[in-house]
């Protein structure tokens, strides 16, 4: 039932046990070990049942009771595993089935990545922390949909002659798009050139599609005319593109938020031990894509097909010496260039650019990174972003 490698990395299994123990006892999230509200065992069992049934539903000979029994068995194995292993001890005596059960729980209770139906964001299942995100969508769906309409999938013609997903972009000013520096370099003739000398490779036919959602009834695709700005520094991972034509049909440009307080604030520790950063709620809108499907991808994204997704989370940290913030929204390749929006104002506070210490086998990482606009200072890209013109 579960596909498990016979050679499990001890450190990886230990991390899984630690996270699963936290989830079962206190609640939590896929990318975070912070304590949360308790997850009801019945809800957890139902979520496991729904996931397993969806994986088996393509086979008409397997009844729903199979999924129900598998979910009950999986949860029991996970609890048995936690009872067998005390904190800090070796996981060597865990069976493969118990390890697989732990991984399934961690994945299911992670940050959701919701699909869009013809441009309308979907609703996550009501499980633990997801209940909070359901409330956010229910009360702010129109604002979320409006902001999401300005986000599109960037594609080029690959060496095979077929379109390739290379990242995400979003609307700025009259005819501009914002994406990552490393995404922009994928569509130029000589990516090793100095930023002022970079020119678009028209043979790659770069374009952006704002309508890349499930069951879209209209097409909003626009050719990209030029790379008009590219930051010189790798850690300022921002590039500005210009679209060719059809300005009347472009979605409305997004609003940017330059207030540092929108990222979070420091709170004094009650024991007088210093201050703790309390990050604000945010969400990422982008186009995650990955051909290989790991267990984590299947649990959080289903099929990472490059269609638009909404991923909520928290800002976890602000870097001291660079304009970088860390967040725990669920992202994948293809999310590069995604806008990070405040959950309160639905304005852009940064641009997602990648993950830290990502395990290529499991697709999990320590944290995700984004350029924090309010910490750009006098950097030239800040002036462009504020003005909406180059």
> Tell me, what CATH number does 287's domain have?
2.40.10.10
pLDDT of residue 295: 73
Same domain, 320 and 184: no
In the prediction, which pLDDT does 34 show? Answer: 38
Q: Give strand pairing partners of 318.
A: 325
- 103 and 125 in a common domain: no
Show the tokens assigned to 280: 């604000």
In a domain, 377, yes or no: yes
Other CB atoms within 10 Å distance of the CB of residue 268? 10
241 shares its domain with 94: no
Chain centre to alpha carbon of residue 288: 7
Inter-residue contact 340 to 282 (CB < 8 Å): yes
- HEC assignment per residue over the chain: CCCCCCCCCHHHHHHHHHHHHHHHHHCCECCECCCCCCCCHHHHHHHHHHHHHHHHCCCCCCCHHHHHHHHHHHHHHHHHHHHHCCCCCCCCCCCHHHHHHHHHHHHHCCCCCEEEECCEECCCCCCCCHHHHHHHHHHHHHHHHHHHCCEEEEEEECCCCCEEEEEEEEEECCCEEEECHHHHHHHECCCCCCHHHCCECHHHCCEEECCCCECCCCCCEEEEEEEEEECCCCCCCCEEEEECCCHHHCCCCCCECCCHHHCEEEEECCCCCCEEEEECEEEEEECCECCCCCHHHHHHCCCCECCCEEEEEEEEEECCCCCEEEECCCCCCCCCCCEEEECCCCCEEEEEEEEECCECCCCECCEEEEEEHHHCCCCHHHHHHHHCCC
Query: Of 231, 249, 267, which marks where a domain is finished?
Result: 249
The verdict on pTM exceeding 0.85 is: no
Between CA 226 and CA 187 the distance in angstroms is 10
- pLDDT score, position 32: 32
pLDDT at 58: 46
Compute the distance between CA of residue 328 and CA of residue 320 in angstroms, rounded to an integer.
19
Each residue's pLDDT expressed in tens, for the chain with a length of 390 residues: 233 333 444 554 554 555 455 545 544 333 333 334 445 666 666 666 665 555 444 444 445 556 666 666 666 666 666 666 555 555 555 555 555 554 333 334 558 899 999 999 999 876 667 888 989 999 999 999 999 999 999 999 887 788 899 999 999 998 999 999 999 999 999 998 999 999 999 999 999 999 999 999 999 999 999 999 999 998 999 999 999 976 678 999 999 999 999 999 987 666 666 678 999 999 999 999 887 777 777 778 888 899 999 999 999 999 988 999 998 888 888 999 999 999 999 999 999 998 876 666 677 777 788 999 999 999 999 999 999 999
Query: What does the pLDDT read at residue 238?
Result: 97
Instruction: Find the distance separating the first CA and the last CA of the chain, reported in whole Å.
Output: 56
The pLDDT tens digits of the residues spanning 2-46 come to 333 334 445 545 545 554 555 455 443 333 333 344 456 666 666
What pLDDT is stored for residue 356 in this prediction?
A: 73
In a domain, 4, yes or no: no
Q: How many other CB atoms are found less than 10 A from the CB of residue 16?
A: 25
Q: In this predicted structure, what is the pLDDT of residue 105?
A: 31
- Note whether residue 290 is domain-resident: yes
Within this chain, do residues 75 and 158 fall inside the same structural domain, yes or no? no
The whole-angstrom separation of Cα 188 and Cα 183 is 10
Q: Which of 346, 329, 336, 328 is nearest to 289 (CA)?
A: 336
Task: Say if residue 177 is in the same domain as residue 125.
Answer: no
Residue 265 pairs with which residues in a beta bridge? 278
User: Closest Cα to residue 83, out of 21, 171, 137, 4?
Assistant: 21
Query: Is residue 2 a part of any domain in this protein?
Result: no
259 and 379 fall within a common domain: yes
Q: What is residue 59's predicted lDDT score, i.e. its pLDDT?
A: 45
The domain total for the chain is: 3
In a domain, 123, yes or no: yes
Which domain-ending residue is among 192, 223, 249? 249
Q: With left for phi above 0 and alpha for psi between -120 and 50, is residue 328 left, alpha or beta? A: alpha
Q: Is residue 33 part of a domain?
A: yes
pLDDT at 84: 62
361 and 306, same structural domain?
yes
Q: Which of the listed residues 249, 284, 317 is the one where a domain comes to its end?
A: 249
Q: Range of 240's domain? A: 153-249
Identify whether 304 is part of a domain: yes
Q: 196 and 81 in one domain?
A: no
Quote the tokens at residue 345: 């104002």
State whether 288 and 192 are in the same domain. Answer: no
For residue 107, the model assigns a pLDDT of 38
Please give the pLDDT value at position 249.
85
Do 219 and 283 sit in the same domain of this protein?
A: no
Residues 140 and 265 in one domain: yes
- Report CA dihedral (133, 137, 140, 145) to the nearest 10 degrees: 130
Instruction: Tell me, yes or no, whether 281 and 132 share the same domain.
Output: yes
Which residues is 285 bridged to in the sheet?
310, 339
Q: Distance of CA 363 to CAs 158, 318, 357, Å?
A: 24, 23, 10
Asked if residue 3 is part of any domain, the answer here is: no
CA dihedral 50, 55, 58, 63 (to 10 degrees): -50
pLDDT tens-digit readout, 209-219? 999 999 999 99
């Amino acid at each position: 039932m579960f596909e498990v490698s016979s050679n499990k990395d001890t450190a990886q299994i230990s991390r899984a046990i630690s996270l699963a123990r936290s989830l079962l006892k206190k609640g939590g999230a896929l990318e975070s070990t912070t304590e949360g509200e308790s997850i009801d065992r019945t809800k957890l069992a139902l979520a496991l049942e729904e996931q397993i049934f969806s994986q088996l539903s393509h086979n008409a000979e397997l009844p729903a009771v199979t999924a129900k029994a598998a979910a009950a068995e999986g949860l029991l194995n996970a609890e048995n595993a936690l009872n067998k292993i005390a904190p800090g001890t070796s996981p060597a005596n865990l069976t493969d089935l118990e390890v697989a059960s732990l991984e399934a729980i961690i994945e299911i209770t992670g940050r959701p990545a919701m699909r869009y139906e013809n441009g309308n964001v979907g609703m996550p299942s009501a499980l633990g922390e997801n209940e909070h995100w359901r409330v956010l969508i229910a009360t702010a769906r129109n604002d979320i949909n409006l902001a999401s309409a300005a986000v599109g999938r960037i594609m080029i013609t690959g060496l095979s002659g077929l379109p390739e997903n290379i990242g995400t972009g979003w609307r700025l000013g009259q005819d501009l798009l914002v994406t990552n520096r490393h995404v922009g370099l994928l569509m130029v003739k000589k990516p090793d050139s100095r930023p002022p000398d970079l020119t678009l490779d028209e043979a790659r036919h770069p374009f952006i599609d704002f309508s890349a959602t499930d069951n879209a009834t209209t097409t909003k695709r626009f050719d990209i005319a030029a790379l008009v700005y590219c930051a010189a520094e790798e850690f300022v991972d921002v590039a500005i593109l210009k679209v060719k034509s059809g300005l009347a049909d472009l979605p409305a440009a997004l609003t940017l938020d330059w207030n540092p307080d929108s990222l979070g604030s420091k709170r004094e520790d009650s024991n007088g031990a210093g201050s703790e950063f309390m990050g604000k709620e945010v969400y990422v809108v982008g186009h995650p894509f990955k051909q290989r499907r790991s267990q984590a991808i299947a649990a959080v994204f289903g099929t990472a097909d490059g269609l638009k997704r909404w991923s909520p989370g928290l800002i976890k940290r602000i870097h001291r010496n660079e304009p970088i913030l860390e967040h725990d929204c669920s992202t994948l390749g293809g999310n590069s260039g995604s806008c990070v929006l405040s959950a309160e104002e639905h304005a852009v506070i940064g641009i997602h650019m990648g993950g830290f210490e990502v395990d290529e086998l499991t697709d999990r990482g320590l944290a995700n990174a984004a350029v924090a606009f309010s910490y750009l200072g006098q950097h030239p890209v800040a002036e462009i972003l504020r003005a909406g013109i180059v």
